Each structure stands twice: as C-alpha cells, then as structure tokens.
C-alpha cells in the first residue's frame, strides 16, 4: 500500500497516460481542475471529490490548471479479506475482490455520506504524510509515501476497511455489468498488450485489428480516439520508451538498442527518438545515463 501526493507547479502538471493495473485505486481531488477517463467515460473534475479506479479499468488522468492537489492510494483488496466462512468476506469483500461488486466511479460533496468518507480518507492520508518514508516517484509532480512498520500496516488496513464499510453503508457500491464500453475497452487492452509483447518485431495494423475482428480503418480511428495517438505512433512511442530505459541503464551501443527495440534502421531510430524525447539517443544518454562516447 502506498500513497502518491501530486502538487502542481508553474512548470509541471500531473499527466498520467493511458494505463491499467491489477490493484484498486482511490483518488482524492482536493483542489484544482482535472480530466479523468475511466474506460470510455470522461469526467471533468472542478470540485473536491473522491474517485475510484476499479481493478483492470483502463484510465487516464490530466491536470488542467496549475493549482491542482491530488492524492492517489493504490491497494490490494485481497489483503483485506477475512477467512472464507466469514460473513463480511462472503457478502462484501469477496464480491468486491472478484468483480461482482464495484466502487462507484465518483463521489462528490452532494453524495450522501461523502463528508464521513472524506474524513476517513483524510486521516489515512495524514498517517502516510506524518509517519511515511518518502521515496522516489515515477511522476515528477508526485511524492511517494510508504509505511513499512507492522503497526502502521495494521492501522492502514483497519482504516481502509472502515472506509469500505462507510462506502457500502452510503450506497457507493454497484453491481458489475458488462457494457458496450467494456467490450470496446477490451479491444484497446488486447492491442496494447500485443504491442508490449511484440514491440521488438514488425507489427502491422492488420495484426492489431485482427485481435478484435475489426476493419483496419475503423480500428485506426477507434484506437486513436481512445489513446490519443494512432497505432503506429503509439508503437513508436512505446519502443522509444524501452530504448530510453536501455540508454539509461546499460552500456549497449545505440545501434544495438535500436534493433533490440524494433528499429531496424538507425537513421529512422534517431529521427523518431528525437521527435518523441527532443534529444538524440547520444544526447539523451549523456544527460540521463551512461555516456559510451558514441557520436550521432
């Protein structure tokens, strides 16, 4: 269990790209304007509220101003469960963990019980900030807090269980339903997983569209509308992301890294890498990794 605190600066704003994970996530928007996308549903947030990202939900988050303050708590519901013959586990925690029940996407000040839930969430955040160890975060605008003690872990689990109890009591849970949006999200997930598993190889649009039996042109338009980038651009950005990691963490030659990441032409690799990062591979390595003395 870990807490991320995001505070915008004049030069940096929170921008979480399209992703999904196997944990559940509680988002508390304390201040500022944000745009949150959950599956195919887009929410404009301009008031204090709490949002939930259920396990496996594809999501994206963007801050729209310089005054944003946001907290994110990721947790594994299975670690909160009791023994199988327990009534609470059977009626509440098990259905949540297995996806039969879901948290509501959003709860705002007008929701019944919001004040009580917010108070409990604020206490949990305060525990992290007062006693947590601050660690490096993947996001420049965020601070990451971790509590490592057994007593702290027990307190956190107890507080999270009390939050879930309040959410249930206030009617902030819903039955899971398979919708057309869920089927559309599966198309995107399948395509992204395929890209992540085959980025070293040649990838054709027909490979991606055939995963869902969609027409290639329709797939291109649909993929771009959800991810914000056409499939080819998305593939190249993912390849550059992997190449950037290798440039930072290894001494491998740029030419070998290009081949390792699916670029079979060094000139094309340099061109695309510079378009995405603003730097050539050589300058990127010099700035962020190990300099091997290569000239580009």
Q: What is the pLDDT of residues 145-194, one digit of tens each?
A: 988 888 888 889 999 999 999 999 988 888 877 677 778 888 889 999 99
Per-residue model confidence (pLDDT) at position 290: 57
Which 3 state secondary structure label does DSSP give 115?
A: helix
Please state whether the predicted TM-score (pTM) of the whole model is above 0.85. no
Sort 9 into a burial class: Cβ within 10 Å, 0-12 / 13-18 / 19+.
exposed
> How many angstroms separate the CA atoms of 45 and 64, rounded?
9
Give the contacts of 242 (CB within 8 A, at least 6 positions apart): 199, 260, 261
184 DSSP assignment: H
Sign of the CA dihedral with 206 first, then 208, 209, and 210 last? positive
Residue-averaged pLDDT of the chain: 88
- Which of 180-184, 209-213, 271-275 shows the lowest per-residue confidence on average (mean pLDDT)? 180-184
- Polymer length of the chain: 296
| Neighbour tally for 116: CB within 10 Å | 15
Average pLDDT over residues 278-286: 91
Confidence class of residue 237 from pLDDT cuts 50, 70 and 90? very high
């Amino acid at each position: 269990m870990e807490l991320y605190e995001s505070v915008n600066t004049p030069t940096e704003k929170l921008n979480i790209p399209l992703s999904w994970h196997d944990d559940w996530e509680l988002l508390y928007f304390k201040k500022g304007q944000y745009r949150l996308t959950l599956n195919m549903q887009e929410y404009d947030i301009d008031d204090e509220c709490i949002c939930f990202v259920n396990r496996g939900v594809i999501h994206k988050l963007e801050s729209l101003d310089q005054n944003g303050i946001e907290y994110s708590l990721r947790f594994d519901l299975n670690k909160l469960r009791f023994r199988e013959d327990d009534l609470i586990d059977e009626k509440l925690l098990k259905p949540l963990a297995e996806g039969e029940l879901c948290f509501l996407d959003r709860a705002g000040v007008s929701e019944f019980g919001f004040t009580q839930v917010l108070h409990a969430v604020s206490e949990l955040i305060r525990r992290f900030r007062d006693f947590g160890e601050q660690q490096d975060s993947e996001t420049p605008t965020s601070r990451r807090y971790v509590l490592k003690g057994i007593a702290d872990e027990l307190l956190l689990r107890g507080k999270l269980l009390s939050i879930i109890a309040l959410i249930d009591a206030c009617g902030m849970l819903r039955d899971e339903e398979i919708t057309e949006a869920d089927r559309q999200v599966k198309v995107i997930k399948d395509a992204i997983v395929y890209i992540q598993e085959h980025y070293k190889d040649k990838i054709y649009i027909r490979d991606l569209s055939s995963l869902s039996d969609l027409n290639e042109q329709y797939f291109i338009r649909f993929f771009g509308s959800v991810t914000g980038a056409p499939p080819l651009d998305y593939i190249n950005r993912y390849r550059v992301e992997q190449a950037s990691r290798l440039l930072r963490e290894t001494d491998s030659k740029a030419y070998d890294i290009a081949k390792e990441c699916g670029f079979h032409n060094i000139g094309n690799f340099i061109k695309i890498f510079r378009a995405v990062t603003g730097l050539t591979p050589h300058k990127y390595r010099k700035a962020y990794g190990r300099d091997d003395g290569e000239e580009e």
